[in-house]
């Protein structure tokens, strides 16, 4: 029994010594391999909203904070935080926040159920990306327009876009311009435009006028009336499709009034 007790004591002592050595080695390794933390990066990260939406082009808020601290991204790089966050980060970095324009997603389609023609009945999965793989790509006659299956809705982390009457519609106040819906739309119908833009063309069909009229009552027919009547020179028609340069648009509304199909939308 005495021998067994001595063995137990020896084992306990040995275990303690080994544990102590391991602790010392871990402590030394921790100091040797420690990663120096940039205080500015931590401060910047604390100001970011934490949505991790990726709209900034970096892998989440941590990635953006690191990029800003390293000078690889602008202080106003967070589309969700906007100007208020940009100003706080600029103060941390000791630079000017710079001018930043609020952006918002816009769906370039006016082909609602009462405007767009129907060529077939679609019975597949209610997902635009899936419908693109099927001959016909949905039920609408227009091959350029919104299919209305809500892939963009699923992609939006802010519940800012919904399908209404067959077309995706953006809630301008809820939209944070993260770009998730832009990336999700398989027809590239959604783009980020200035929040203050008063008018925009709600169509992206480049078919000839007669074909557009057959497919949708709200499509751009490329007639050029908007361009001819725009005194600011903000509109051009290329490939049978009108586009508006928001930096030149004065918001007079003449294009909106002259458009025979109302493909030009009043949004501002």
Ranges in the chain, pLDDT < 50: 1
pLDDT digits (tens, 9 = 90+) for 91-109: 998 888 776 788 999 999 9
Residue 260 is predicted with a pLDDT of 97
Dist. CA 197–CA 249, nearest whole Å: 8
Question: What CATH homologous superfamily does 39-93 map to?
Answer: Electron transport complex subunit B, putative Fe-S cluster (1.10.15.40)
Partnered with residue 98 across adjacent β-strands are: none
Domain spans of the chain?
A: 39-93, 102-195, 198-268
Same fold for the domain at 39-93 and the one at 198-268?
no
Model pLDDT for residues 134-191, shown as the tens digit of each residue: 887 888 999 999 999 999 999 999 999 999 999 999 999 999 999 999 999 999 999 9
CATH of segment(s) 198-268: 3.30.70.20
Q: Look-up: residue for tokens 């926040």?
A: 97
What lies within 8 Å, CB to CB, of 29 at 6+ separation is none
The per-residue pLDDT for 17 is 74
Q: What is the pTM of this model?
A: 0.75
- Domain 102-195 adopts which CATH fold? Alpha-Beta Plaits (3.30.70)
């Amino acid at each position: 029994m005495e021998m067994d007790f001595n063995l137990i004591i020896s084992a306990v002592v040995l275990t303690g010594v080994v544990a102590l050595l391991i602790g010392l080695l871990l402590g030394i390794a921790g100091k040797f391999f420690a990663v120096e933390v940039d205080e500015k990066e931590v401060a910047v990260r604390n100001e970011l909203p934490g949505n991790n939406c990726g709209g900034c082009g970096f892998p989440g808020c941590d990635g953006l904070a690191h990029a800003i601290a390293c000078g690889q991204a602008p202080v106003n790089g967070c589309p969700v935080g906007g100007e208020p966050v940009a100003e706080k980060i600029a103060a941390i970095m000791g630079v000017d926040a710079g001018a930043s324009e609020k952006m918002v997603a816009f769906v370039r389609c006016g082909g609602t159920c009462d405007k767009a023609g129907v060529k077939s009945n679609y019975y597949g999965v209610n997902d635009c990306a899936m419908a693109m793989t099927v001959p016909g790509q949905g039920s609408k006659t227009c091959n350029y327009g919104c299919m209305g299956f809500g892939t963009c809705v699923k992609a939006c982390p802010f519940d800012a876009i919904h399908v209404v009457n067959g077309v995706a519609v953006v809630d301008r106040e809820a939209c944070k311009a993260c770009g998730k819906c832009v990336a999700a739309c398989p027809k590239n119908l959604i783009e980020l435009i200035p929040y203050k833009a008063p008018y925009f063309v709600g169509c992206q069909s480049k078919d000839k006028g007669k074909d557009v009229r057959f497919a949708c009552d709200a499509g751009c027919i490329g007639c050029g009336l908007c361009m001819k009547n725009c005194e600011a020179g903000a509109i051009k028609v290329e490939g049978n499709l009108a586009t508006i340069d928001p930096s030149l648009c004065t918001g007079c509304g003449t294009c909106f009034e002259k458009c025979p199909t109302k493909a030009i939308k009043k949004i501002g």
